Structure 1
Amino acid sequence: MDWDRVESSLGFPLPRGYKRFIEVYGPGDFDNYILVASPCEAEYSDGISEFWKEKRESFIELRDVVSLPSWVSAPEDTLLPWAGTPDGDAYFWRIDRQLSPDYWDVVLCDGELNKWYKYKGGMTRLLLSVFSGESDLDFFSGLPPVGHSCFTSIYE
């Protein structure tokens, strides 16, 4: 993976945990529910760059219609999606150029843009909390019981 090219295309670096995850497992899904995006469209049709463009356009179109939490400002510029669900939920990093990407919050949003949740801890820590049973947020209701989840890479 040419991370320099990917990050140059985005205009900022990505969290190391995400890059390591993609290097080890590749893009894919947890139980056909949490779909982790790839950074390159050539490898996966829902690449993170394309995913971000789609979400940016949605935020711009809806900015005067949808009520956002006070801690979300200019979502088209500060929320970078890294995963989604078939229900339309989206999982973002909250870009803070003052911080290392490894310290960006994770933001979860339902498909209707009604429910928002901010998680401090990053992508890999969030996934660990979900699959260990620590997190019981509605955003993960489509997953099987703890201990029965499986990740499927698109490369399998």
Structure 2
Amino acid sequence: MWVQRVIELTGWEPLGISVDWAAIEGELGVPLPADYKELYEAFGGGVFSDSLYFLGRDESLAFDFLTQWRVSLSVDHDSELGGVSAVEPYAIYAPGGKGLVPWGSTEWADEYFWLIDAERPGEYPVLARADDVGAWHRYDMSTSEFLYRVLADADFQPFGVARYALSPTFEPSSGNDE
């Protein structure tokens, strides 16, 4: 329902990307949210409303979900950085553990993650923070509902981009030429 609302809001024609979910979820060690998979297959990676960066499939890697997760995990576990996580008080999810997996951000340094616990597959609360160092906000809603509210609900504070009167559009990354 929410994926369809995002599609209708943006006027997007779904790409129908074929995805090897077994390989992606095998690397992560957990299943991903079903609605995120629908968004990924419909949109790939790219930019909503000229400001919200959505991680999906992207051959150029800038918007590639797995690439960005691997980079975040590598940086989060780099011992030369002194053991401080960029997502304190959390950590980036490592297979079999509990932590954050990035799926989106904005040009204003807002960041969107799922809190994933390998021992509780199927639970995907959205954790978001504004300005890269702001307080964490937890949303017990689907990825697509959160995305829709950010794009369409001007009162969805502090993350709603609709308050800036941005057109609800989607621009695919250069690597999504289907």
TM-score tier (shorter): 0.7 to 0.9
Q: CA separation in 2, counterparts of 1:132 and 1:24? A: 19
Matches within 5 A, 1:68-107: 68=88, 72-73=89-90, 75-77=91-93, 78-101=99-122, 103-107=123-127
Task: Give the corresponding residue for 1:136.
Answer: 156
Identity of matched residues, %: 21
- Number of the residue aligned with 1:113: 133
Give the Å deviation of 1:23: 1.0
How many residues are paired up? 149
Retained in 2: the 8 A contact 1:27–1:44? no
Question: What's the offset of the Cα at 1:83?
Answer: 0.8
Q: Deviations over 1:25-73 (max 9, x none)?
A: 22211112111112x55364332222113323444447548794xxx54
Q: Partner of 1:47 in structure 2? A: 64
The TM-score, its normalising length taken from structure 1, stands at 0.76
Q: TM-score, normalising length from structure 2?
A: 0.68
Gaps of 5+ in 1: none
Shift, 1:142, TM fit: 7.8
- Distance in structure 2 (CA, Å) of the matches to 1:65 and 1:79: 11
SS in 2 for 1:12: coil
Query: What's the secondary structure of 1:140's corresponding residue?
Result: coil
| Deviations 1:62-106 (CA, angstroms, capped at 9, x unpaired) | 7548794xxx54x222100011122332210100224343x3100
Looking at structure 1, the residues matched to 87 and 44 of structure 2 have their Cα atoms a distance apart, in angstroms, of 35
Question: Is there any run of 5+ residues in structure 2 with no aligned partner, and where?
Answer: 1-18, 94-98
Whichever residue aligns with residue 133 of structure 1, its letter is D
